[in-house]
């Protein structure tokens, strides 16, 4: 691919651009005007070429440090949230001014995990993004750090950007930071090579578990997880340095290119797989595991040996095997209160005893996503 234009990137209609804190701050951790100017110039050029752009930007905490007299990023959550509260407005004001010089308007979108995890608010987020883009606005997205707790956080803006990419049905996701690409080893080690092309992210054999590895630099583990989420959504991913933003958006062969993994899956299934919060759990017997995983069958009440949680029909639930291993996630067709009297029983017996309303599956095959065999 080296030297060859990435045509799907060059012709992408809707893109998500994630900008890491290190790409818009200086050595002291303050907002860097020159870097922000360069990034906005490149994004504005992409807009001028006809692309719709959603920006996912870190930097709110960094922007709040100087006004609060803080010399470094605080470690405790309350101080981080205070810095984000002060810095978020400053960050957006900077983006508003820079995009305005190109005749573009921006709109702030602050998200929490719950905004994506809950089906109703997920759908509302879709509508909001759609309308902003229809109006020609550049959405600037960040996690709502001022209210998010440690238990309810995306954890990183890479993952949030990947989820946003499938919420808006983007064609491409750009993960920009101080890391110019994925490497086979630490870039400073002899023999380390840039990985130019990743046909299938699931098959990628790269160790990101230890700090000494190149791929662990700049949060590479989270970037690979983001690439996995996005590629499963049918989104092309480019991991590149923010310094190479212009050629990356133009489709030039910079950074690392991740191919989409198969066909674009429905928003509902991707929400179920990566964004939803499960409301309960059902335990499958060995036969039900084989039927669901190997034969792509629905989960019937007869194959369930136990459950936990207080869920209702339509809620996401976790399906586990007899040893507690994750099989997948699905949308329950029953309330938890119904289960004690139906699990382990055939639908034929249930219909004979209770009527036609009990001939349905516990989880229909079209409303489940397998984690043991996601690509199946």
Res. 190: pLDDT tops 90: no
How does DSSP classify residue 297? P
DSSP letters, 82-147, are HHHHHHHHHHHHHHHHHHHTTT--EEEEEE-HHHHHSHHHHHHHHHHHHHHHHTT-EEEEEE-TTT
Calculate ∠ Cα 246-247-249, nearest 5°.
65
Nearest to 321, CA basis, from 296, 356, 286, 351: 286
CA distance 251 to 263: 21
- For the stretch 318-351, pLDDT in tens is 999 999 999 989 999 999 999 999 999 998 888 8
The neighbouring-strand residues paired with 271 are none
Average pLDDT across the chain, whole number: 85
What does the alpha-carbon distance between residue 282 and residue 326 come to, in Å, rounded to a whole number? 10
Q: What angle do CA 302, 306, 310 make, to 5 degrees?
A: 115
User: Which secondary-structure segment (H or E) carries 55?
Assistant: strand 52-57
Partners of 370 in the β-ladder: 328
pLDDT tens by residue, 297-321: 999 999 999 999 999 998 899 999 9
Specify the residue for token string 């490497």: 183
Domains of the chain by start residue, with CATH: 7-270 (3.40.1160.10), 278-370 (2.30.130.10)
Contacts of 206 (CB under 8 A, 6+ apart): 182, 184, 195, 215, 224
Q: Is the pTM here over 0.85, yes or no?
A: no
Q: Give residue-wise pLDDT tens across range 106-131.
A: 999 988 766 776 777 888 889 999 99
- The answer, yes or no, to whether residue 360 has pLDDT greater than 50, is yes
């Amino acid at each position: 691919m080296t030297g060859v234009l990435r045509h799907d990137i060059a012709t992408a209609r809707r893109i998500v651009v994630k900008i890491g804190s290190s790409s818009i701050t200086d050595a002291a951790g303050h907002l860097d005007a020159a870097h922000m100017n360069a990034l906005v110039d490149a994004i504005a050029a992409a807009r001028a070429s006809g692309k719709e752009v959603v920006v996912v930007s870190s930097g709110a905490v960094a922007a709040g440090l100087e006004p609060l007299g803080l010399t470094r990023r605080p470690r405790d959550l309350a101080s981080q949230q205070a810095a984000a509260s002060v810095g978020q407005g400053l960050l957006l004001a900077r983006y508003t001014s820079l995009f305005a010089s190109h005749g573009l308007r921006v709109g702030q979108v602050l998200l929490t995990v719950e905004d994506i995890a809950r089906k109703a608010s997920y759908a509302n987020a879709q509508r909001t993004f759609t309308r902003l883009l229809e109006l020609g606005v550049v959405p600037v997205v960040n996690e709502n750090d001022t209210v998010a707790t440690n238990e309810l956080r995306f954890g990183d803006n890479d993952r949030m950007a990947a989820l946003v990419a499938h919420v808006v049905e983007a064609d491409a996701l750009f993960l920009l930071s101080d890391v110019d690409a994925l490497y086979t080893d630490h870039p400073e080690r002899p023999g380390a090579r840039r990985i130019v092309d990743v046909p299938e992210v699931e098959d990628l054999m790269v160790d990101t578990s230890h700090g000494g590895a190149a791929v662990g630099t700049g949060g590479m583990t989270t970037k690979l997880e983001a690439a996995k989420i996005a590629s499963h959504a049918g989104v092309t991913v480019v991991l590149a340095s923010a310094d190479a933003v212009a050629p990356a958006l133009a489709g030039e062969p910079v950074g690392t290119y991740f191919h989409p993994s198969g066909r674009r899956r429905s928003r509902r299934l991707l929400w179920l797989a990566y964004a939803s919060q499960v409301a309960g759990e059902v335990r499958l017997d060995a036969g039900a595991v084989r039927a669901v995983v190997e034969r792509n069958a629905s989960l019937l009440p007869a194959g369930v040996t136990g459950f936990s949680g207080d869920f209702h029909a339509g809620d996401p639930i976790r399906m586990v095997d007899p040893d507690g291993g994750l099989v997948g996630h699905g949308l329950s067709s029953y309330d938890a209160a119904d289960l004690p009297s139906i699990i382990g029983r055939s639908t034929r017996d249930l219909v004979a005893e209770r009527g036609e309303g009990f001939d349905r599956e516990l989880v229909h095959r079209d409303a489940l996503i397998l984690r043991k065999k996601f690509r199946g």
